[in-house]
A = this chain, B = another copy of it.
C-alpha cells in the first residue's frame, strides 16, 4: 500500500475527477494513434477544444514553381503568371493557411505549442499569419541540409535549408521545453536555432514497388526526433494535420508519445500505416533524459537543518572563502550583521541583485568545499 504525501492526499479527489472528465471528453472524440482520412480542416473541426499538446505541420509549400496550390476543398488552382493572378494565389494560400491555423488554434491546449515547416515560398506567409492570429513565436529553427540539391543552373545560391516556426499558443503560455535534454543532445552546449541534418534518403526513404519515392517531401526522422524530444513529454498527444507518409507518427510512437495524423491521399496513408506498424516503441527503461531541475520538488533549507543533514552551527562559506556564515536552528543563516535565508544573505554580502544560496554557499567536507546543493540532492535521494 502506498503512503500519500499531504499534498497528494489534498489533490487526490480532484485528480480522479479530472482524469475521469478527461477520459470521458477525449477518449470518445480523439482518435489516438490513428490516421484520419480526409481534409485536415474538416477533420480538425470534429475534434474538441484544447485537446492536443503539440501540433507539427508540414503544409503544402505551394506556388509558382510548379507545385500545385490546392484550395481548402481540394480543387486545383490554375497556375497563372501575371501579377494580378500571382496576388490572387498568395491571397488564396493565405486563406487556406488562416483556415487550418484557426482550427489548429482551437484544438491546441493553452499551454501547447505548434511547429510549422516551410521554405521561402510559403514560410513568410505562414509566419506573418501566425503572429496576426496571436500565436507567440518562440524560435525560428533553420534546418540546415548537409546534402541539399545543388542549383543546377547557377542562377541563385544553393537552396540549402528549410525553416521551422515554433510558437506557443499565446505570449503567456507555459509551453514545454526540455532544455536539459536538448543541451545533453548537443554535447552539453545549449541547442542552437540552426540544426544540421541530412535530407531523408537511403533506407529511411519510403519507395513503392516501382522503386519510386512514395512522397515527394518526406522529412527525416532525425528532425522529428528533435522536435518531439524538445517540446513534448511522454504520453503527450501530437497532431500532424499534413501527415503524408507518417514521419511524425513513427517518431512519436518510438518516443512513446500519442499521435493523430490527418491525410487525404490513400497512397500516403497506406504507406504510413505499414511504416508505423513496423516501428517499435523504445523500451521504457531506455526513455531516460536529463531531468529538468524545475520539476524537482522544492526543498526548504530548514528541512535539512531539521533533519540533521546540515545541523545548526554548520559553517557555510562561498567558494573563495571570502565570507563565512553560520546556520541557525531555524534554517536562517548569519554572516556579520546580515541574517536571513541562504539566498537573502548570499545576495546581501555580495551586493548582488539576486543569489541562489544552494550553489553560492559551500560546506567543507574532507578538506574540500562542496555546494549546499549536494546536501539537497542527498535529501531528495533519501526520500
Q: Is the CB of B127 within 8 A of A330?
A: no
Closest to A377 in B: B337
21 A/B residue pairs, CB under 8 Å, sorted by A: A74-B354, A83-B134, A86-B134, A87-B132, A120-B127, A123-B140, A124-B130, A144-B194, A157-B182, A157-B193, A158-B192, A185-B300, A186-B302, A187-B298, A187-B302, A187-B331, A188-B344, A282-B329, A286-B312, A287-B312, A288-B312
Binds B, one of A221-229, A238-246, A364-372: A221-229
Please state the number of chain copies in the assembly.
2
Interface string of A169-183 (1 = CB under 8 A from B): 011000001111111
Q: Is the CB of A194 within 8 A of B160?
A: yes
Q: Is the CB of A120 within 8 A of B132?
A: no
* Further pairs besides A184-B330, A290-B339: 11, Cβ < 8 Å: A86-B171, A90-B131, A124-B127, A124-B130, A139-B156, A150-B190, A180-B330, A222-B307, A282-B311, A286-B313, A288-B329
A352: interface (CB < 8 Å):
yes
CA distance A154 to B184 in the complex (A): 13
Closest to A70 in B: B353
A214: interface (CB < 8 Å):
no
CA distance A138 to B153 in the complex (A): 13
CA distance A221 to B305 in the complex (A): 12
Question: Closest CB-CB distance, A149 to chain B, in whole Å?
Answer: 11
- Provide the residues of chain B in CB contact with A130, threshold 8 Å: 124
CA distance A121 to B341 in the complex (A): 39
| Chain A contact patch, size range | 35 or more
Interface string of A334-351 (1 = CB under 8 A from B): 100101110110000010
Interface string of A261-302 (1 = CB under 8 A from B): 000000000000000000000110111111000000110111
Q: Is the CB of A330 within 8 A of B181?
A: yes
- Pick the contact of A286 from B86, B180, B298, B329 — CB < 8 Å? B329
Question: Closest CB-CB distance, A197 to chain B, in whole Å?
Answer: 8
A54: interface (CB < 8 Å):
no
- Provide the residues of chain B in CB contact with A189, threshold 8 Å: 300
- Provide the residues of chain B in CB contact with A126, threshold 8 Å: 124
- Provide the residues of chain B in CB contact with A180, threshold 8 Å: 154, 330
Q: Is the CB of B305 within 8 A of A185?
A: yes
CA distance A186 to B182 in the complex (A): 31
Q: Is the CB of A288 within 8 A of B332?
A: yes
